[in-house]
Amino acid sequence: MDDFLIKLEKLKSNIFSRMRVLFLLDFVAIFSIFSSIFIILNVEYFINKTNFYLPVPVHYVPPSIALLLGAVFAFLLHRNDKKINLYLLIEKKITDLKEKLRTAYDNREESNDIVDSLKSDVSGALDKVSSAQILTTGKVFSKLLITGIFLAGTLVLVQNPTPYQIPPKTIEDLSKTITGAGESGNQTIEVAGNPKDFNKAGQEGGGNITGKPKIATIEGKNIDLTIFPGYESGFILTRQSQTQNQFIKSAAYPVDVLGSNVSDGGYSLLMQKTETEKQLINKFAVERSKI
C-alpha cells in the first residue's frame, strides 16, 4: 500500500472518531432536553393516571422515553455522516491538496513517474493535515459546552423537581377546563314560556278565574261556567297562625236553574215563578251564555 493511502486512512479514522463524538454529544443534549421537559410537565403523574400495564416502575418510563427520543433524533441528525465525501472535504480545507488527493486516490493502482510523483506530493501534504482541521476543535468544544449546560440543568431538576414541576392540581384544573368536565353551579333555570299577565283571564292572560269564563255544552245546552260566590265575607287574618278564611259555601243549584246566573239570595223568588216563567228565565240564561 502506498504511503499516502496509509496516511489517508488514518486521517479518515480520526475524522470519523470526531463525528462519533459529535453524535454522542447530540444524543446526550437531546436526552437532557426531553428529560427536563418530562419533569417540568410532570409526565410521571399522567402515566400514573393511565390504566396501562407497565412491566417496570413508573419513574423509569420518562427517562426511557427520553433515551429513545435522544437516539432517534441524534441518528436523524447524523444519518448522512457516512455519505460525506471525505476526499472533497479535505480538499476544501487544505487548498494544497485540491484535486490532487482525488486524482492520486483514483490512480492508486497505477505506477509511473507522473503518478508516483503525485502520490509523493499528496503524502507530504497529508503530514500537515489533522482531523482538527477538518472538524474544527471549536465546533466540538461549542457542542460540548451546550451539552454540558443541558445535562447540568437536567441533574438539577432530577435532584429537586418540586419547585419546577407543574402541580397536579393545576393539571387537573386545566384538564377540566379543556374537556368541560366538572362544571356546576351558576346555571340558570330556564322557565318554559313567557310570563303572563295574571290580571287578564281566559286566552288573553294567565287564566285568572275572576275574568269572563268559557262556555261548556252539556246535553246540547251551552252552560255559563261562572263561579258563584258564597255569601257573607270571611275574616281578616290578624295573626300569622290563622291559615284559612272560613266562608260559607253557596247551596247547590238544581238542574233547572243552572246557567240562570242568579245569586242564592234570589233562589226563593225564582221558586215562586210559574213553570212558564221558569222556562223563559232558563231560556234567557242559555241565550245570554252564548254572548
Q: Give the residue extent of every domain in the chain.
A: 3-179, 202-289
Task: List the grid coordinates of 248.
Answer: 260559607
- Residue 249: per-residue pLDDT: 53
Judged against a pLDDT cut of 70, whether residue 92 lies above it is answered with yes
Give 90 or 25, the one with higher predicted confidence. 25
Q: What is the pLDDT of residues 137-163, one digit of tens each?
A: 888 899 999 999 999 999 999 888 888
Q: How far apart are CA 89 and CA 110, in angstroms?
A: 24
Measured distance between the N- and C-terminal CA atoms of the chain, rounded to whole angstroms: 130
In whole angstroms, give the CA distance from residue 138 to residue 100. 28
Sign of CA dihedral 146, 150, 156, 159: negative
Q: Is the pTM of this model over 0.95?
A: no
Long-range residue pairs from 235-243, CB within 8 A, at least 24 positions apart, any chain? none
For the chain, what is the mean pLDDT?
75
- Element spanning 25, H or E: helix 3-40
Dist CA 42 CA 165 (whole Å): 6
Looking at residue 191, its pLDDT comes to 45
Using pLDDT thresholds of 50, 70 and 90, give the confidence band for residue 181: low
pLDDT digits (tens, 9 = 90+) for 212-270: 555 555 556 666 655 555 545 555 555 555 455 554 555 554 544 444 444 455 666 66
Write out the three cell numbers for 157.
Answer: 431538576
Q: What is the pLDDT of residue 189?
A: 44
264 vs 268: CA distance, rounded Å:
8
Evaluate if residue 120 carries a pLDDT over 60: yes
What pLDDT is stored for residue 71 in this prediction? 95
